[in-house]
Copies of this chain bind each other. A is one copy, B any other.
Amino acid sequence: MVIVVRHSARREDVAALTAFLTAQGVSVTPVPGERSTLLAVVGDTSRLDDDRVAGFAAVEAVRRITEPLPLAGRGAHPADSVVEVGGVPVGAGHFALIAGPCSVESREQLLPLAASLRAAGAQLLRGGAYKPRTSPYHFQGLGEEGLALLREARAATGLPIVTEIVDPRQLPLFEDVDLIQVGARNMQNFELLKELGRIDTPVLLKRGPSATLKELLLAAEYILSGGNGRVILCERGVRSFDTATRYLLDLSAVAVLHERTHLPVIVDPSHAAGAARYVPSLSLAAVAAGADGLMLEVHPDPAAALSDGAQALLPADFAALAKQIKALRAALTESGD
């Protein structure tokens, strides 16, 4: 951390700042310049609150040099992590194909779909039982009935299940879910994150639509610091000024996150695209970028979907895409040696 001291700072204000920093266990080296003095702060700055430092009277600006990520960062954990989800490994070269409908709608919708997804190569089944919707007047999910149908589909196909939690009070209902999803809108629902830190079910943490990658990693840090190290990160598009797609898929997030963290990184192109016809292009791109998995929305009859039908692939299109992904991964593995 580097602190720029105000030109006009009083000697006692600088002393107060230095005393505060030293008390936090870091060491401080002043570097005098022509216009202003810098304080170079070294040691474990991960628990220092930049905003609090910035509040001192002597401070003009605070610049972070290293990310304050004691658990999610590569510093303490250089090797890639593998997160096991119901027996399926994700990360460190293990690629996971997650597929399913946006919302669980009925047994007739879910069970045949799950079987066909499995046949096409999906390794995990996704489906929403509790749906966070922008408008209160839209379908909010089947709730517990949806969870029961997911369990039934898991029993029938053997696919572990992924579904979204939207309230800490729902945790007892999610006990046997294989991968609990935290949606983009809840990425900074810190009370929910704290609760997920206390269990040991794997968590799929989606990036908020205006979250920086640093904020995503700090949200993961909430779960990790609670004691649950089984976190998978998911890029799903950020807000942008162009409405050509629903969100702007940030595929540079894959390389940047892989550099900064050991946690697996997957990509959800369906929500970013908002239109099924763009999903294959973005899926292949995410795989080539080095993602550890994909989460894709598939529906047997998008026109009848109760949510997000426009972005759902048909099962046959998913099967064709899964084949292409396989070929692509083989080519990348061979040529990357």
Contacts and interface: CB of A to CB of B under 8 A. Distances in A.
A281 B289 contact: yes
B255 A277 contact: yes
A259 B277 contact: yes
Given A189-B189, A238-B242, 15 more contacts: A4-B65, A46-B137, A52-B139, A54-B309, A55-B312, A56-B303, A70-B137, A134-B188, A185-B189, A238-B240, A240-B250, A249-B252, A255-B277, A288-B289, A324-B336
A57 B303 CA distance: 6
Interface string A274-318: 000110011011111110000000000011111111101000000
Nearest to A69: B135
A287 B38 CA distance: 36
Contact of A40 (B31, B55, B136): B31
Contact of A169 (B66, B169, B253): B169
A210 interface: yes
Nearest to A328: B331
A221 B328 contact: no
A311 B101 CA distance: 40
Interface stretch (A79-87, A108-116, A148-156, A211-219): A211-219
A173 interface: no
A136 B63 CA distance: 20
A167 B166 contact: no
Q: Which of A34, A188, A324 has the most CB of B within 10 A?
A: A188
Given A2-B65, A52-B306, A188 B132 contact: yes
A322 B81 CA distance: 30
Contacts of A208: 210
A68 B137 contact: yes
15 contacts: A2-B65, A4-B65, A31-B31, A49-B139, A52-B309, A55-B309, A70-B137, A134-B218, A136-B194, A166-B191, A252-B272, A284-B288, A285-B286, A324-B335, A327-B331
Interface in A148-188: 166-169, 185-186, 188
A54, A136, A304, A328: most-surrounded residue (chain B CB, <10 A): A136
A148 to B, nearest CB: 20
Contacts of A225: 136-137
A88 interface: no
Q: Sort A-B residue pairs by CB-CB distance and give the 7 closest, nearest first.
A: A55-B309, A210-B210, A33-B42, A331-B331, A327-B335, A288-B288, A54-B310
A222 interface: yes
A104 interface: no
A93 to B, nearest CB: 15
B38 A65 contact: yes
A213 B244 contact: yes
Nearest to A61: B65
Contacts of A244: 212-214, 252-253, 256
Contacts of A285: 251, 254, 285-286, 288-289
A323 interface: yes
